[in-house]
Amino acid sequence: MGRLSWAEGVRRVTAFTGAGISTDSGVPDYRGPQGIWTKDPSLANLFTYDNFLADAEVRLRFWQVFAGRRMGVEPNAAHRALAGLEAGGGALRIITQNVDGLHQKAGSTPRKVVELHGSLATATCLSCKERTPAAEAIARLPEEPTCACGGTLKPSVVMFGEYLDGDVLSLARNIAAASELFLAIGSSLQVEPAASLCALAVEHGARLVIVNRDPTPYDDLATEIIREPIGTAVPEICAALSS
């Protein structure tokens, strides 16, 4: 990767992570060659909030697909490197599009991880709003998980057709604006408004570094674009930031 001059003198770092950071953990991404949407494009249209509400078969299929993204999955070298950067005293915040909880599992402080699209750790009843541990809901498969009140259980994640939580998005924007270095890792940067955090960070003076296999809509704003595998690139970056 060479000398990372853009890492010099940086104090406040934000890591914006997408599905690509978790592929080394065995979690498929969405748009890559082996991605969920690539292998079955119908799923992208199927898993909308309206379809989830309307069709019990869609709800069951959703639970089956996303149960596999959570069970038995462990953090990889990239997650651990970011956790290590924080543990070493780095001023690091993580904004993630992922719902797998792997940053926290790797040791990142939960309050320093902003989960834009929610979390698979819990499910929310659409009737009484009670939250249930996702593991309890998943254990009821292959039957559709339901709440004790009889209401529909929905994984606590943001689906297509739903808005991001306004407070969560506002927090993410504040973090991006305060960044000196904004690392966009493993994200196609095609999902808005999350991807626009890159532009916001740059507008406020941050250096944008994109670590992704494929081109993104924000490449023109980047100080550097890194196409190396995330599992090797991120530990190298964190080592440079720690030195």
Cis ω for the linkage preceding 110 (within 30 of 0): no
- 51 in helix, strand or coil? helix
Can you tell me which residue has the tokens 């969405």?
Answer: 30
Active site residue 103: no
Residue 77's H or E segment, with its range, is helix 77-87
Question: Residues 76, 24: contact at Cβ < 8 Å?
Answer: yes
CA within 13 Å, CB half, 175: 26
The whole-angstrom separation of Cα 130 and Cα 118 is: 15
Distances (CA, A) of 175 to 62, 105, 198: 32, 22, 11
Cis ω for the linkage preceding 155 (within 30 of 0): no
**Both tokens assigned to 174:** 């504040």
The whole-angstrom separation of Cα 136 and Cα 6 is: 45
Nearest to 221 by CA among 174, 176, 170: 176
Question: Residues 158, 187: contact at Cβ < 8 Å?
Answer: no
The whole-angstrom separation of Cα 93 and Cα 181 is: 11
Which of 79, 103, 117, 204 is catalytic? The answer is 117
Positions annotated as catalytic residues are: 117
